[in-house]
Structure 1
Amino acid sequence: MNEESKEPQAIRKLAPGRLVIASHNEGKVREIRALLAPYGIEPVSAASLDLPEPEETGTTFVANAELKAMQAADLSGLPALADDSGLCVEALGNAPGIFSARWGLPDPGIEGIEPEAGEGRDFDRAMRRVNAKLDALPEGTSRAAHFVCALALAWPDGHVEWFEGRVDGTLIWPPRGDKGFGYDPMFVPEGHGRSFGEMAPEAKHAMSHRADAFAQLVAAVF
């Protein structure tokens, strides 16, 4: 995709067959698998192939998605699709952003975020941290937020296509719903009364940041 035009400019089409989903996040893998189902693609997860998780050293969603997709394609010898996504809270300077998953770690190494007891990613903890930071701001501060999803599709020879989607909404507290994953229970998309955590998967897939990015990918490479 051309970064300046923001329009899909795919040079290469994706043929039916095996495609590595370069993620160890089962929630993401489920959503991506469902979105790929109509296109003759056989998704295989990075975890099922015992592929390692790379260190996410990029400074943007696109950069992190690219490095994950390129590593998976190189190690597997198959085309690979990676997602890097996160929650951007406007009143927090668009944090947590690319650090969204790390806000669920006991010690994410982010200035101003205190470690808590426990091991592994915990999005209940991450949501509490976001809400606590908003509560510490002046009364009436906007709770506007948006999700961003960058998709990178890489081939073993190093060719990469990328696509970026977005959905805007508002953060609520307490969280509502037990569907979806990540920050979904505290995010209500614009024009709707239910959180992503309360929506059936097909309803979320019709409007999410990931669906936006996928619509661009489908138009370009299938």
Structure 2
Amino acid sequence: MSRTLILASNNQGKLKEFSALLSSINFDVHAQGEFNVPEAEEPHVTFVENAIAKARHAARLTGKPALADDSGVCVNALGGAPGVYSARYAGEPKSDQRNNEKLIADLSAHVDKSAYYYCVLVFVRHADDPQPVIAEGRWNGEMLAEPRGQGGFGYDAYFWLPEQQKTAAELTAEEKNRLSHRGQALRALIEKLR
């Protein structure tokens, strides 16, 4: 018997990734938009605070358990930027292309291109859950000046993985689920939920 779980996002890439992995523990994942839940405010400067706010928002408006992630790319030479502002790094409206252009321009004067994707997942049983389940993942790499690959989304085409000799956008969906920050966090979350 599968249980309904609200994903506090309308990102189809995330919905696909989460659905694939959470079906193993009998969760039927639905984007919050299916329940007419608007995007939550993300006023915080940390990933965990934003993820908690988004999970509680979705749970409050649907009356169902909710899962939120807050993730982004953190570039060491830029003091961790874009970080929590990854989706809106170049301003509104959100644009992967403009975000990538801004990041590459901001990084052009720096020798250190090291970066990492970071993800925090928060699962709440209900809106006022006093013990949210929290898991995190970190995926190390480097930023390239030119995109490579057609897969993924966000900064994936610029995120170089030295061990794989590929960008995140050149990985198969299976490889990305196994290696990524989100995949790591989701596996940790599944272990905690079991």
1:104 deviation in Å?
4.2
Q: Which amino acid aligns with 1:41?
A: F
Q: TM-score, normalised by structure 2?
A: 0.94
Instruction: List gaps (5 residues or longer) in structure 1.
Output: 1-14, 107-119
Most deviating of 56-65 and 23-32:
23-32
* SS class of match (2:35): coil
* SS class of match (2:33): coil
Given that residues 22 and 190 in structure 2 are in contact (C-alpha distance below 8 angstroms), is that contact kept between their aligned partners in structure 1? no
Instruction: String of CA shifts for 1:95-127, please: whole Å, max 9, x gaps.
Output: 000000111434xxxxxxxxxxxxx31111111
* SS class of match (2:126): coil
User: Residue 61 of structure 2 corresponds to which residue in structure 1?
Assistant: 75
User: Residue 3 of structure 1 corresponds to which residue in structure 2?
Assistant: none
* SS class of match (1:127): helix
Matched, 1:170 2:142: yes
Structure 1 residues 34, 104: CA separation in 2 closer, same or farther (over 3 Å shift)? farther
Larger radius of gyration: 1
TM superposition outliers: structure 1 runs of 4+ over 3 Å: none
1:157 deviation in Å?
5.0
User: Residue 100 of structure 2 corresponds to which residue in structure 1?
Assistant: 127
Correspondence list, 1:1-222, <5 A: 16-106=2-92, 120-137=93-110, 141-156=111-126, 158-159=128-129, 160-222=132-194
Rounded to whole Å, the distance in 1 between the matches of 2:100 and 2:193 is 35
Coordinate RMSD, CA, aligned: 1.4
Structure with greater helix percent? 2
Most deviating of 143-152 and 25-34:
25-34
Instruction: List gaps (5 residues or longer) in structure 2.
Output: none
Instruction: String of CA shifts for 1:121-163, please: whole Å, max 9, x gaps.
Output: 11111111111111133xxx11000000000001225221111
Q: Indicate the percent of aligned positions where both proteins have the same amino acid.
A: 38
Given that residues 61 and 149 in structure 1 are in contact (C-alpha distance below 8 angstroms), is that contact kept between their aligned partners in structure 2? yes
